């Protein structure tokens, strides 16, 4: 495979930037263009539901690289101009402003777009949280003088919904966290960890509505007034965040792509894509990893948790909210979870794939 | 090469330690990055660059030291 003379990366977030940087790191000297739908220089998404929403960080702090580092990359950043079409045969990308970008290789790194509820569009006070502008709009709405405290309903009990609930609660909002699971993240981390998370949220003042199917939104004069549950009950709300997952942002492409998405994958995949472009094909097999901050809990997950089986605590003590637990399946360790024990969790990570037998229950 | 770390950004993932244990460590209590070697030897540069690139919190910055 010959190295292309120029590369267009569609998407200027973590994955797009990682691809551009990896190309240069591996010695690629051809033309490099990074096309971004948003007007912002590449920024990091994990702080959006935490430090940016809370106001602890000014928006600029979420930037992935200082301006000088981006200049040193020797790439042209075309921002605020979404891709609208891809001509595979001509390797050309068409943009909203009417540009046509041709290149020897086109990298698709447009990420995800949030799923929404029916009737959500056009109803003021209803938010998603995917972009920097989304986070700032939610923050402004929570601080607007609607009611004190603002009543926030978070629809969705996954990582993002639980983080938003925690941050908004600390901002002083009256928060209800509603979702289909019996406890936050139960489907992903299992009942024991989810139960500890539920306890934490409840004791900090978040009202939990587990097992809640959401059927729609109520509004008045174009502004949301509540979230309707499948049971007919309405949760009154001044502000609503819908955090019910995301789908690949591939509306501008003819085909469909399937990808793993989280912040670590974004950078690791970027490195891999760069290798492929430069003719070095390697299988993509990283150990999955994510972390979440909720109130004073910092939770790290390496590998694959199995929600079905209870994890085994191997260090620390859940009662002290500082422990490491191992997930296993068919007598093999599949994942490691650290709750306020990051270094210890990382040390256990090497045991993923090992047999459970002979495991010391506590160090 | 000069390495700097931003403790306030660090999430304690430990990906940098997995890649370059000669250069990075983590604090025992909260897992925040500890920089062992601010000017790593040349044979470590490639792995340090990779560590900076895969840091989930973008807490590692590199600059060319003269």
DSSP, collapsed to helix, strand or coil, labels residue B20 as coil
Residue A25's pLDDT is what? 86
- Domains defined for chain B, CATH in brackets: 2-63 (3.30.70.20)
Average pLDDT over residues B5-15: 95
Interface residue of A346, A348, A349, A352 to substitute, partner B, most B CBs within 10 Å: A346
Residue A259's pLDDT is what? 44
Give the ranges where B1-66 is alpha helix by DSSP (H): 15-19, 45-54
Residue A356's pLDDT is what? 84
DSSP, collapsed to helix, strand or coil, labels residue A226 as strand
Question: Which positions in chain B have a beta carbon within 8 angstroms of at least one beta carbon in chain A?
Answer: 11-15, 17-18, 26-28, 30-31, 49-50, 53-58, 61
User: What are A311-341's pLDDT values in tens digits?
Assistant: 999 999 999 999 999 999 988 999 999 999 9
Q: Hunting for tokens 């792509």 — which residue is that?
A: A257
Q: Are A267 and B54 a contacting pair at CB < 8 A?
A: yes
Residue A258's pLDDT is what? 39
Residue B54's pLDDT is what? 86
Global ipTM: 0.92
* CA distances, A229 to each of A159, A216, A217, B31 (Å): 21, 7, 9, 41
Residue A240's pLDDT is what? 98
Interface residue of A343, A344, A350 to substitute, partner B, most B CBs within 10 Å: A343
Interface residue of A267, A286, A297, A341 to substitute, partner B, most B CBs within 10 Å: A267
Residue B65's pLDDT is what? 60
Which residues in chain B have Cβ-Cβ distances shorter than 8 Å to A69?
61
- Structure tokens, A198: 């539920």
Residue B6's pLDDT is what? 95
Q: Are B13 and A289 a contacting pair at CB < 8 A?
A: yes
Which residues in chain B have Cβ-Cβ distances shorter than 8 Å to A268?
54
A83 sits in which H/E element? strand A83-87
Give the ranges where chain A is alpha helix by DSSP (H): 14-25, 51-54, 67-72, 132-143, 159-170, 186-204, 263-277, 342-348
Residue A266's pLDDT is what? 67
- Domains defined for chain A, CATH in brackets: 6-111+249-277 (3.50.50.60), 116-245 (3.50.50.60), 296-351 (3.30.390.30)
Residue A358's pLDDT is what? 64
- Structure tokens, B30: 């909260």
Contacts of A264 (CB under 8 A, 6+ apart): A286, A288, A289, A290, B13, B15, B54, B56
Residue A296's pLDDT is what? 96
Please tell me the number of Cα atoms within 13 Å of A68 on its side-chain side: 4
Q: Are B53 and A25 a contacting pair at CB < 8 A?
A: yes
Which residues in chain B have Cβ-Cβ distances shorter than 8 Å to A298?
11-12, 30-31
Q: Which residue in the set B12, B28, B58 is minimally distant from A44, CB to CB?
A: B58
Residue A146's pLDDT is what? 64
For the entire predicted model, the pTM comes to 0.91
Q: Which of A299, A290, A286 has the alpha carbon at shortest distance from A262?
A: A290
Q: Are A25 and B57 a contacting pair at CB < 8 A?
A: no
Residues in chain A: 363
Residues of chain A with pLDDT under 50: 256-261, 361-363
């Amino acid at each position: 495979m010959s190295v292309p003379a120029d590369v267009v990366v569609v998407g200027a977030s973590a994955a797009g930037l990682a691809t551009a940087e990896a190309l240069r790191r591996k010695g690629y000297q051809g033309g490099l263009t990074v096309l971004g739908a948003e007007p912002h220089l590449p920024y990091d998404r994990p702080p959006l539901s935490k430090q940016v929403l809370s106001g602890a960080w000014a928006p600029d702090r979420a930037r992935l690289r200082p301006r000088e580092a981006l200049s040193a990359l020797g790439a042209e950043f075309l921002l605020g101009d979404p891709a609208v079409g891809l001509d595979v045969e001509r390797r050309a990308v068409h943009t909203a402003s009417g540009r046509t970008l041709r290149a020897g290789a086109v990298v698709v790194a447009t990420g995800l777009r949030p799923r929404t509820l029916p009737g959500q569009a056009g109803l003021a006070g209803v938010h998603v949280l995917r972009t920097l502008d989304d986070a700032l709009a939610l923050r402004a709405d929570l601080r607007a003088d609607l009611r004190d405290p603002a009543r926030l309903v978070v629809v969705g009990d996954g990582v993002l919904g639980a983080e938003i609930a925690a941050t908004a609660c600390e901002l002083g909002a009256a928060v209800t966290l509603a979702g289909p699971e019996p406890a936050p993240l139960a489907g992903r981390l299992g009942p024991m960890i989810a139960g500890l998370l539920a306890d934490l949220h409840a004791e900090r003042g978040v009202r939990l509505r587990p097992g809640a199917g959401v059927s729609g939104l109520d509004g008045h004069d174009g502004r949301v007034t509540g979230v309707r549950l499948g049971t007919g009950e309405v949760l009154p709300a001044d502000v609503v965040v819908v955090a019910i997952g995301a789908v690949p942002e591939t509306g501008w492409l003819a085909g469909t792509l399937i990808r793993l998405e989280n912040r670590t994958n974004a950078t690791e995949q970027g490195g891999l894509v760069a290798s492929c472009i430069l003719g070095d094909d390697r299988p993509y097999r990283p150990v999955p990893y994510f972390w979440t901050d909720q109130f004073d809990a910092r939770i790290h997950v390496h590998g694959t948790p199995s929600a079905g089986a209870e994890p085994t605590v191997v260090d620390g003590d859940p009662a002290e909210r500082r422990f490491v637990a191992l997930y296993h399946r068919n007598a093999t360790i599949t994942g490691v979870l650290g709750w306020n024990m990051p270094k210890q969790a990382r040390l256990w990570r090497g045991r993923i794939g090992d047999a459970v037998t002979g495991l010391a229950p506590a160090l | 090469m000069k390495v700097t770390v931003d403790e306030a950004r660090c999430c304690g993932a430990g990906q940098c330690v997995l890649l370059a244990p000669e250069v990075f460590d983590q604090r025992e209590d909260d897992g925040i990055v500890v920089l062992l070697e601010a000017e790593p030897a040349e044979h470590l540069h490639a792995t340090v660059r990779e560590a900076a690139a895969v840091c989930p919190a973008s807490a590692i910055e590199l600059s060319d030291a003269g």
